[in-house]
Structure 1
Amino acid sequence: MTTVFLTGASGFLGGHLLRELRTAGCAVRAMSRRAEADAIIAKAGGDPVRSDLRDATSLKAALADCEAVFHAAADTSMWRPQATAQTATNVLGTENLLRAAEWAGVQAFVHTSSVSAYSHLAHGTLVESTPQRGAESWINYERTKYLGEQAVRRASVPWIIFNPSHILGPGDRHNWARLIMLVDREKLPGIPPGSGSFADVREIARAQVRAWQRNSFGKAYLVGGQHASFVDFVQHLGAALGKRTPSRATPAWALMTFARVADAWSRVSGREPDVTPESATLVCQALRVDSSKARRELQYVETPLDTLIDDTLAWMRQEGLVGR
């Protein structure tokens, strides 16, 4: 049986990767730093292993006898005081994992990067040949995702890179789920003026496993989905939940002003605000992603947004996250 090492296994995408790898017949050794994560991983059929991206020794021990690494862990904070810790995870942690993989003789490294490596500075529809501008970004998340991806590209271990757009689907408790719960409680203060491509987390996980099985080494894949404005997205959620929603987007200048005030107060309170200048900048962006390469080579599926929202809400109702 093939043994795979997985990071981020107790998270959103990582949880789906764990299930897909188990379905493919793999033994999954999953990085875990706490008891709560151990239970989540074990329930899904994985073997939790105490290791940390900042601890090279623990990574070498965890990767012994593994044939492949799937790296889905990341720090997605949009708050500047977290920049040092974020860099330690997204850049230095990825470099530590790559060195451990090379030391262990791992034969494949499947890396979850992000469209953020291209940065909000990139314009037009993103394709794989679009120049990545993450190194120029003032947003630390974009810069660290770019630098982490570049470390993978330089590595000697055979690699495959995925750049997902906005990830949606069952299993989300912290990403778009936070906005969905605000809609359900009719507490959403406004709608960002941007737009995005909404990708099905289940299809991203399937495409990653498929790429590894097909030895698609040295390739990067953008994986997006149906494009929609955030106004349309929120109004669809409101209709599905039977809740009132704002009828129009909040102007970008008003959102940025609110974000700057919230950020300034957070330096006094020490608490991360719901909206930062970084996150406000990204949700004012019109993000379009071309997934044709992944569709052509990996049979990646762009789930219709209606279906994706319905499936997400069904899971959230089951978990008691909405509809209380």
Structure 2
Amino acid sequence: MNHAFVTGGTGFLGANLIEQLIADGWRVTAMHRRGSNTQLPRQLGAELVEASLTDIDSLHAAVPDNIDAVFHLAANTNMWRGGNAQQWRDNVEGSANIAKVARETFARQAFNRNKTAGRLIVTSSISAYGYHRESISEESPQLADDPRHHYLYTKKRAEQAVRAEIERGLDAVFLNPCAIVGKYDTGNWAQTFFMIQKDQLPGVPPGRGSFCHAGAVARAHINAFHQGRRGENYILAGTDASFLEFFGRIAALLGKPVPGRTTPAFAIRTLAVFSDLWSRVSGREPVITPEKAALITRRVVASSAKAERELGYASGMELDAMLRECRDWLIQQELLQAPAAAVEERA
């Protein structure tokens, strides 16, 4: 039986990965921070262990002996300058720590038990490539070098930290998902469902993105363990859509009026600047920050041809199917009210 150690197991991609690993017959140890809600990974069958990415001693204690894979999914997705210091510790220092512990663990296992060395699968992000005018591929330069876009900045440097351990002998593969949609989500795109159902959506941004299915992304992680090439990046894209299309489909699934136009980019960016200035006085994170404004008003689309070819990545799920899966799970968990149309669909 293969044994996996998973960081970020309490997140929604982590839940999709744990579910598939256990269905494939893996034993799974899922790491969580103190105070995290561990109900979902526990229900899915994972063994739980408390540790912190920023405390390397706790990682040494948490990572079990005789493991085959470390799936590093945990990340700090903050997009406000007030959280930048912690984000650097979590994303960059934390990735360096888990990569070092994985390398040392795999080397010790290979020496003591004649066991084949394990592999680290790193969940990076399309954000590590920064902003491009054209569709992004693995050959595109990673342009995330502006610290004002701190999340993007740290994702590139997290990859660099892991590559330093690859040079010391670690076997690692990088996955770069785009916008992930699917079940078990309560804090990402699920927030859009909540806002639209409560008629609280302030507007629709003019950006565009690639949307990928959480289940397919999780499967690509497992396939990367078996089939990925050491040190390689694999972009996981999917269905390209504008935010107007994306929000419109959510509205339709909730039986709400479909928005017909976007808010101009300059208006969103101007609001973000003034909100950020006020946050310097109030000390509170604003609803819209300059980083968020940049993300939702730009075009971020990519090609997953390499992942499809080498990992068997399934990029073809339609956007409606991804969104319906997310909606139906939220309704099942009684986090979202079922619209009449949804009740009729299931009847």
Q: TM-score w.r.t. structure 2 length?
A: 0.89
Task: Say which SS state the counterpart of residue 135 (structure 1) adopts.
Answer: coil
The reply to whether residue 123 of structure 1 matches residue 133 of structure 2 is yes
Specify the alignment match of 2:240 in structure 1.
227
Q: After TM superposition, give the deviation of residue 274 of structure 1 in Å.
A: 1.7
Q: Distance in 1 between matches of 2:158 and 2:52?
A: 16
In 2, the alpha carbon distance for the partners of 1:44 and 1:265 equals 43
Where does residue 134 of structure 1 map in the other structure? 144
What is the CA distance between 1:39 and its match in structure 2? 3.1
Amino acid at match of 1:90: N
- Cα distance in structure 2, aligned partners of 1:149 and 1:131: 13
Q: Which residue does 1:68 correspond to in 2?
A: 69
CA offset at residue 64 of structure 1?
Answer: 3.5
Do residues 101 (structure 1) and 114 (structure 2) align?
A: no
- Residue in structure 2 matched with residue 315 of structure 1 by the alignment: 329
Of 159, 164, 171, which residue of structure 2 is paired with 1:158? 171
Q: Following TM superposition, by how much is the alpha carbon of 1:38 offset from its aligned partner in structure 2, in angstroms?
A: 3.4
- The runs of 5 or more residues in structure 1 that have no matched partner are none
Deviation at 1:157, TM superposition (A): 1.0
1:107 alignment partner AA: G
Structure 2 gap segments, 5+ residues each: 107-116, 339-347
CA contact 2:227–2:310 (8 Å) conserved in 1? no
Q: 1:32 matched to which residue of 2? A: 32
Which has the larger displacement, 238-247 or 94-103?
A: 238-247
| 1:21 counterpart = 2:21 | yes
Q: 3-state SS of the aligned residue for 2:57?
A: helix
- Structure 2 counterpart of 1:88: 89
How far apart, in 2, do the equivalents of 1:272 and 1:22 lie?
A: 38
Matched, 1:49 2:49: yes
1:34 & 1:41 partners in 2: Cα distance?
Answer: 15
| Residue-by-residue CA offset, 1:274-319 (whole Å, 9 max, x unaligned) | 2101001011111111011111122211211121112111112212
Q: Specify the structure having the higher radius of gyration (Cα).
A: 2
- Partners of 1:9 and 1:318 lie apart in 2 by 21
Given candidates 105, 110, 122, the residue that maps to 1:111 is 122
Identity %: 39
How far residue 133 of structure 1 moved from its aligned partner, in angstroms, is 0.8
Compute the displacement of 1:41 (Å): 2.3
Q: 1:188, 1:245 within 8 Å by CA — same for their partners in 2?
A: no
CA contact (8 A) 1:113 1:149 kept: yes
Q: Confirm whether residue 292 of structure 1 aligns to residue 308 of structure 2.
A: no
Q: Retained in 1: the 8 A contact 2:228–2:311?
A: no
Q: Deviations over 1:195-243 (max 9, x none)?
A: 1010001100001101212253222110011101101111111122111
Bigger mean CA offset, 16-25 vs 36-45: 36-45
Instruction: Decide whether the 8 Å contact of 1:135 with 1:147 is kept in 2.
Output: no
Partner of 2:113: none
Please give the secondary structure, in 1, of the residue aligned with 2:175: strand
- How far off is 1:42 after superposition? 1.7
1:159-308 alignment runs, 5 A limit: 159-302=172-315, 303-308=317-322
CA distance in 1 between partners of 2:146 and 2:271 (Å): 25
| Displacement of 1:257 | 1.2
Answer whether contact 2:5 2:69 (CA < 8 A) is retained: yes
Q: TM-score, normalised by structure 1?
A: 0.95
Matches of 1:36 and 1:90 in 2, distance apart? 18
Structure 2 vs 1, CA of residues 64 and 316 (structure 1 numbering), >3 Å: closer, same or farther?
closer
CA RMSD of aligned residues (A): 1.5
Q: Please give the secondary structure, in 2, of the residue aligned with 1:282.
A: helix
Report the number of matched residues.
323
| Alpha-carbon separation, structure 1, partners of 2:144 and 2:228 | 27
Q: Give yes or no for contact 2:34–2:51 (8 Å, CA) kept in 1.
A: no
Deviating beyond 6 angstroms after TM superposition, the runs of 4 or more aligned structure 1 residues are: none
Distance 2:90 2:147 in 1: 18
